[in-house]
Amino acid sequence: MAASESELIERYFRPLSAARADVALGIGDDAALLTVPSGAELVLTTDALVEGVHFLPGAAARGLGHRALAVNLSDIAAMGAVPAWMLLSLILPAADEGWLGEFVAGLAPLARGYDVALVGGNLSRGPLSITITLAGHVPPGAALRRDGARAGDALYVSGTIGDAAAGRELVQGLQPAHGQPPQGQPSQGQPSQGQAVRALDAQLRERFERPQPRVALGQALRGLASACIDLSDGLYADAARLLHSSGCRGQIDAAQLPLSDALRAYGGARAVDLALGGGEDYELLFSAAPAHRAAVEEAAARVGERISCVGTVSEGAGLFVNWSNGTAMTASAPAGFDHFGR
């Protein structure tokens, strides 16, 4: 016997309504009532995961619960803001309580970890999609926008990039895993290295399936970064967006890209391509004036995040990639994943 919408909400989502003193009214009325800190600006973002577009049919519900919130947290991180309240709009083919339990098991730890309260939403029957709206706040004028990069600034990225794109290939079976070659074909790795390779591949899968938003880093960069964006569509595409918004030209040095050992082992000659073109890393790309260099490095160290200087901002337009052999790849328009692209 299927449970009703309100029973499902009570059972699975009410427990996500974390106790926050600033929630005057949460789930269960026509709308939520919330108190934004005095003087702060409200930050609002929404992102959707659609079956067949953002994930394959049959994708694990636990991973989707994590990703659905993580991608929104990443947008809040890129603004240097503090996440606080979310709304969940869930369209499900059936009232599958096993699926819901797993979904919440993926969502809840991230929500608790960032002190995000679920304050509303809805549950409808239909083709699977998950839309989360996340609200937060930031001191007035302190938000990290895309349009503040200036000539002379350095370009930084957090963490390592390209891992999620490799992980996606592994998860979706687009490329054979190192440790699990297709039957009848020789393994690319030495037998004695099999276990180590499998561990590296697991790291890449983890980066794709459980992206970690850089919320603390975004906040630490307030007053230091001149512009910031999160890497959802790939370094090249997202850097082009930041530079276009800022009215500047940028240069990325391929040799400076922070590539994990796992990506190098998996991608070989493709590693740099995966780092530049692959999306879903949810690292931060930001610009900062040279005068802030030491402060930026201290801020990142304080929150335990690795950052790497990968290029520079100059006057003009476009985004140029310097390869280690001295040639340059150029393009002038943003590229990247586009749901309705040609």
Binding to a copy of itself (CB under 8 A) within 87-106 occurs at 87, 89, 91, 95
Contact call for residue 8 and a copy of itself (CB under 8 A): yes
Pick out residues in 321-340 that bind a copy of itself (CB under 8 A). Answer: 334, 338-340
Cβ nearer to a copy of itself, comparing 201 with 283: 283
**Which of 206, 214, 212, 209 is closest to 305 using CA atoms?**
214
Return d(Cα 278, Cα 87) in angstroms, integer.
29
* Minimal distance, residue 334 CB to a copy of itself, in Å: 8
Task: Assess 143 for contact with a copy of itself (CB under 8 A).
Answer: yes
240 binds a copy of itself (CB under 8 A): no
**End-to-end CA separation in angstroms for the chain:** 46
Interacting positions 242-281 with a copy of itself (CB under 8 A)? 245
- Closer residue to a copy of itself (CB): 127 or 223: 127
Look up tokens 């309580």; give the residue.
97
Residues 202-231: x where in contact with a copy of itself by CB under 8 A, - otherwise, as a string: --------------------------xxx-
Do the beta carbons of residue 255 and residue 324 sit within 8 Å?
yes
Shortest CB 174 distance to a copy of itself, Å:
20
Question: By the 8 A CB rule, do 213 and 300 touch?
Answer: no
Residue 329 φ then ψ, to 5°: -100, 135
Rounded least distance, CB 211 to a copy of itself, Å:
15
Question: From the CB of 101, what's the least distance to a copy of itself, in Å?
Answer: 15
Instruction: Report how far residue 194's alpha carbon sits from residue 109's, in angstroms, rounded to the nearest whole number.
Output: 32
DSSP annotation string for 249-299: EEEEEGGG----HHHHHHHGGGHHHHHHH------EEEEE-GGGHHHHHHH
- Size of site (CB under 8 A) for a copy of itself: 74
| DSSP bridge pairs for 274 | none
- Report the site for a copy of itself in 13-72 (rule: CB under 8 A): 24-25, 28-36, 38-39, 41-48, 50-54
